[in-house]
């Protein structure tokens, strides 16, 4: 067991956690966070591959590193678009939920200060 | 080595615990704070993996800008998120857990069976580094070897921004984005927003400039500059311009246009798209970076700001 | 001389780590937002200051040394500002961030 392998396994677990959160959490913002955790897990997995390619006096393979930087910026852009969509949905309806109409779960409004 | 491994194991456990808490905690606002902390821990992992360029990007983007974006959204949605409490039934949750565990197991199997010795492009990147004129191999990949990716990335950032803008209400079309703050022009935040930006701008430009030869670069530098702009606006000392302003739109498209012009000029001068003529690689890379810088600063800050929410005062 | 500086580094960084530990314990154990903020900012300012102080003899003069001190000053400035903002919010809103 060495550092890159350890963080590779950690990345695999993070992808699992994020996937679980994406499916189970009903609030859309939580789904966006879950999706971002999956994304960062994928980046970390890719990063361990970059680290394993250390050669020629470099700490890691520069090609995956550059793609990682690209990926992080694109992930931020996608998150910003998703959040903007969510806020517009909130402005339209005042309520934000992804609970389907077919299975009516009466949303018991908690007191606002709960 | 064993001490280093102990640090790594501790860090891995901490980051897994933070991710689990972020997923499981009930309050959405707490989850967002957990995600920001998670981003900062991830930065430490990048440092441990000896990938400082990625660590800088993660700290600036993953922790910083994404955190600001999510905190703003969570604050606006706070009331409604609290009412959506019921989780899916036990059956769905079990199924999700089984699916997630399967994915994790499959990925773990792949990690443990990666080829050894690992394939690497580092020697090839090192061999041609001299001809690009830059000293940081990551910058060389971003702007010389695979510059097409970087161009498309800048265009993706712009398209995301157009998507955000197109979500504005009809009555605010072409108006000003707005940050929700409790700005007090005499308050401590306003003081902070007067002190920090001059230093922050120097740090941002320094990280951009040093990126040619050391860890750093335009994305990290642009994020810091965007953060300074957001800080000044968040403190109520300035306002976003209307998104219909011509200078704003010109600066936004100037970066990719200069990039494309230099890329396609390569057909004539060097015989291939995105090839640089001998001896001109460094100045051309510098020209692209300087043109991309305002595009990225404006686009990143405006992505955090979201859709226009008011019309400019007449 | 080298050994004396190394010992200074070890002790100073350990003292800094102790302040971080104490600050974390305070953050978890103190009863209300204001005292928790006090624990947190104290740990940041003193703990980080001692760590930076301890690392100074190990850096290359001048650029690395100045960068390290600048990091501490930025953390001081940011910590003081954010602490103040959070304390104001806590007093106005009873601990619920708006």
User: pLDDT tens for residues B197-239?
Assistant: 999 999 899 888 888 778 878 888 999 999 999 988 888 888 8
Distance (Å) from the alpha carbon of B44 to chain A's nearest alpha carbon: 12
C-alpha to C-alpha distance for B276 and B283, rounded to whole angstroms: 10
pLDDT of residue B211: 81
Task: Collect all residues of chain A within an 8 Å Cβ-Cβ radius of residue B62.
Answer: 40, 72, 76
Cβ–Cβ below 8 Å for B125 and A60: no
pLDDT of residue A18: 94
C-alpha to C-alpha distance for C50 and C41, rounded to whole angstroms: 14
SS3 call for B25: coil
Distance (Å) from the alpha carbon of A83 to chain B's nearest alpha carbon: 7
The residue among B310, B151, B28 whose CA lies nearest residue A83 is: B28
pLDDT of residue B265: 86
Number of B/C CB contacts below 8 angstroms equals 18
Residues in B whose CB is inside 8 Å of some CB of C read 29, 75, 182, 187-189, 191-192, 195-196, 199
C-alpha to C-alpha distance for B138 and B149, rounded to whole angstroms: 13
pLDDT above 90 as % of chain B? 28
pLDDT of residue C62: 83
Cβ–Cβ below 8 Å for B188 and C77: no
Tokens for C66? 């100045």
pLDDT by residue (tens digit) across B234-284? 888 888 888 888 899 999 999 899 988 888 888 888 778 888 887 777 888
pLDDT < 70: residue spans in chain A: 1, 56-57, 94-114
B86: pLDDT confidence band, cut at 50, 70 and 90? low
Of A7, A29, A114, the CB nearest to B12: A7
Task: Collect all residues of chain A within an 8 Å Cβ-Cβ radius of residue B122.
Answer: 53-56, 58, 60-62
DSSP H or E segment with residue B119: none
pLDDT above 70 as % of chain B? 95
The residue among C28, C97, A15, C90 whose CA lies nearest residue B28 is: C97
Cβ–Cβ below 8 Å for C97 and B29: yes
SS3 call for B310: strand
Predicted confidence (pLDDT) at residue B192 exceeds the cutoff of 90: no
pLDDT < 70: residue spans in chain C: 94-98
Total number of residues shown for chain C: 98
Cβ–Cβ below 8 Å for B137 and A62: yes
Predicted confidence (pLDDT) at residue B58 exceeds the cutoff of 60: yes
Contacts of A22 (CB under 8 A, 6+ apart): A31, A34, A35, A38
Look up the ipTM and state it.
0.90
Helix segments in chain A, DSSP class H: 3-24, 28-52, 62-93
Ranges of each domain in chain B: 134-314
C-alpha to C-alpha distance for B210 and B217, rounded to whole angstroms: 7
* Biggest CA-to-CA distance, chain A: 62
Neighbouring chains of B at 3+ CB pairs under 8 Å are: A, C
Distance (Å) from the alpha carbon of B147 to chain A's nearest alpha carbon: 10
Higher pLDDT pick, B109 / B128 = B109
Do you find a cis peptide bond into B117, omega within 30 degrees of 0? yes
Cβ–Cβ below 8 Å for B16 and A50: no
Cβ–Cβ below 8 Å for B28 and A27: yes
Cβ–Cβ below 8 Å for B182 and C98: yes
Round to the nearest angstrom and report the end-to-end CA distance of chain C. 54
Q: If you measure CA to CA, which chain B residue comes closest to C78? A: B192
Cβ–Cβ below 8 Å for B122 and A83: no
SS3 call for B139: helix
Predicted confidence (pLDDT) at residue B91 exceeds the cutoff of 60: yes
Residues A3-93, CATH architecture: Orthogonal Bundle (1.10)
Q: If you measure CA to CA, which chain B residue comes closest to C71? A: B203
């Amino acid at each position: 067991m060495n550092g890159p392998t350890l963080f590779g396994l950690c990345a695999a677990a993070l992808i699992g956690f994020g996937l679980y959160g994406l499916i189970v959490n009903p609030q859309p913002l939580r789904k966006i966070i879950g999706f971002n955790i999956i994304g960062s897990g994928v980046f970390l997995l890719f990063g361990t591959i970059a680290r394993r390619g250390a050669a020629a006096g470099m700490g890691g393979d520069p090609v995956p590193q550059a793609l990682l930087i690209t990926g992080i910026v694109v992930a931020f852009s996608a998150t910003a678009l998703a959040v903007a969509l969510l806020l517009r949905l909130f402005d339209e309806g005042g309520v934000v939920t992804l609970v389907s109409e077919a299975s009516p779960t009466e949303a018991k409004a908690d007191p606002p200060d709960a | 080595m064993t001490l280093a491994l102990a640090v790594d194991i501790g860090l891995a456990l901490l980051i897994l615990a933070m991710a689990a808490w972020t997923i499981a905690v009930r309050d959405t606002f707490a989850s967002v704070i957990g995600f920001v902390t998670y981003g900062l821990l991830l930065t430490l992992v990048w440092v441990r993996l000896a990938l400082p360029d990625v660590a800088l990007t993660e700290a600036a983007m993953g922790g910083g800008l994404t955190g600001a974006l999510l905190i703003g959204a969570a604050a606006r949605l706070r009331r409604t998120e609290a009412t959506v409490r019921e989780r899916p039934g036990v059956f769905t949750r079990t199924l999700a857990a089984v699916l997630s565990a399967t994915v994790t197991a499959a990925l773990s199997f792949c990690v443990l069976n990666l080829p050894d010795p690992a394939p690497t492009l580092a020697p090839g990147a090192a061999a041609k580094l001299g001809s690009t004129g830059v000293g940081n191999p990551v910058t060389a990949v971003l702007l010389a070897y695979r510059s097409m990716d970087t161009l498309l990335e800048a265009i993706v950032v712009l398209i995301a921004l157009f998507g955000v803008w197109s979500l504005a209400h009809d009555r605010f079309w072409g108006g000003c984005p707005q940050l929700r703050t409790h700005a007090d022009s005499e308050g401590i935040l306003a003081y902070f927003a007067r002190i920090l930006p001059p230093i922050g701008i120097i740090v941002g430009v320094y990280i951009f400039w040093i990126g040619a030869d050391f860890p750093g670069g335009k994305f990290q530098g642009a994020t810091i500059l965007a953060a300074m702009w957001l800080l000044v606006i968040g403190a109520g000392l300035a306002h976003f311009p209307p998104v219909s302003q011509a200078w704003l739109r010109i600066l936004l498209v100037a970066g990719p246009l200069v990039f494309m012009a230099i890329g396609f000029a390569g057909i004539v001068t060097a015989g291939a798209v995105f090839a640089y003529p001998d001896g001109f690689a460094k100045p051309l890379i510098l020209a692209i970076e300087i043109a991309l810088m305002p595009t990225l600063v404006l686009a990143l800050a405006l992505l955090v700001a979201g859709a226009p929410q008011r019309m400019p005062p007449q | 001389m080298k050994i004396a500086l190394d010992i200074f580094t070890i002790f100073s960084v350990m003292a800094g780590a102790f302040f971080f530990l104490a600050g974390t314990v305070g953050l978890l154990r103190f009863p209300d937002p204001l005292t928790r903020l006090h624990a947190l900012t104290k740990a940041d300012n003193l703990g980080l200051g001692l760590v930076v102080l301890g690392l100074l003899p190990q850096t290359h003069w001048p650029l690395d040394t100045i960068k390290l001190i600048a990091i501490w000053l930025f953390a001081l400035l940011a910590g003081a500002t954010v602490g103040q903002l959070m304390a104001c919010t806590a007093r106005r809103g009873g601990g619920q961030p708006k």
